[in-house]
Amino acid sequence: MKSAGKKPKTTSVAAAPRSDCPPDVEELGRSTWTLLHSMAATYPANAPPETQSVMQQFLSTFSKLYPCWVCAEDFRSWLAQPGNEPKVKGQDELGMWMCQAHNAVNVKLGKSEFDCTLWKQRWKDGWKDGRCD
Ligand SMILES: Cc1cc2nc3c(=O)[nH]c(=O)nc-3n(C[C@H](O)[C@H](O)[C@H](O)COP(=O)(O)OP(=O)(O)OC[C@H]3O[C@@H](n4cnc5c(N)ncnc54)[C@H](O)[C@@H]3O)c2cc1C
């Protein structure tokens, strides 16, 4: 998306992405998944009804305002499918649901699926081999 309409580069060395330019779809996606999985990782183990309601509203609003309109439209279609509604009772089920939502996008983009049994190591506790300590 970012490169559309721009002149092709003439050097053979790819330029490093600049950190002070508008994000493309990939960078936006990586940052957003970091936010979404981190929200799941800090969600209460047993969320009170009001928190569940706020999370439901957040995800509904997010799916309407995510600033990649095609991505948002597909995400809303996925959410509307039976069984895909957000699971917001507590951290474990929200984290697993978020992983499944992310995997649906991974599959759509032809990427490998992430092993959702590992979501907590990736986004909350760090890997068991200690490399995040
Ligand atoms: C709601 C949403 C919809 C999107 N739709 C589109 C789209 O239609 N078209 C498009 O081109 N891009 C879309 N994106 C962006 C896309 O998902 C990626 O973020 C982007 O392609 C960059 O991918 P990446 O390979 O760097 O890693 P990302 O997919 O961004 O993942 C970041 C990191 O999360 C971890 N991870 C990967 N999968 C999972 C998982 N299932 N559960 C937990 N952790 C995981 C891995 O460690 C990975 O390195 C969407 C993003 C969001 C948030």
Q: What is the mean pLDDT of residues 22-29?
A: 97
- CA 20 – ligand 1 centroid, Å: 21
Do the domain assignments include residue 5?
no
Gap from CA of 7 to ligand 1 centroid (Å):
27
Structural domain includes residue 21: no
Average pLDDT of the chain? 92
Q: Does 1 reside within a domain? A: no
- pLDDT tens digit sequence for 35-90: 999 999 999 999 999 999 999 999 999 999 999 999 999 999 999 999 999 999 99
Q: What type of residue sits at position 12?
A: S
Q: What is the pLDDT of residue 2?
A: 44
The reply to whether 118 falls in a domain is: yes
Q: Find the domain containing 63 and state its range.
A: 33-125
How far is the C-alpha of 50 from the C-alpha of 131, rounded, in Å? Answer: 37
* Mean predicted confidence (pLDDT) in 109-129: 98
Percentage of the chain exceeding pLDDT 90: 86
Ligand 1 in reach of 33 Cβ (< 6 A): yes
- Ligand 1: which of 28, 30, 32, 111 to mutate, most ligand atoms within 8 Å of CB? 30
Q: Residue 5's pLDDT band (boundaries 50, 70, 90)?
A: very low
How many residues are present in the chain?
133
At residue 16, the pLDDT reads: 75
- Evaluate whether residue 100 is within a structural domain: yes
Looking at the structure of the chain, the number of domains it has is 1
Torsion over CA: 100, 88, 126, 68 (sign): positive
Is residue 111, in this structure, part of any structural domain at all? Answer: yes
**Nearest residue (CA) to ligand 1, atom 19:** 29
Q: Is 100 in the pocket of ligand 1 (CB under 6 A)?
A: no
pLDDT at position 44: 98
Ligand 1 close to Cβ of residue 30 (< 6 A): yes
Does residue 27 lie within any of the structural domains?
no
pLDDT at 97: 98
DSSP the chain: -TTTTSPPP-SSSPPPPPTTS---HHHHHHHHHHHHHHHHHTS-SS--HHHHHHHHHHHHHHHHH-SSHHHHHHHHHHHHSTT-S---SSHHHHHHHHHHHHHHHHHHTTPPPP-GGGHHIIIII--TTSTT-
Domain CATH for 49: 1.20.120.310
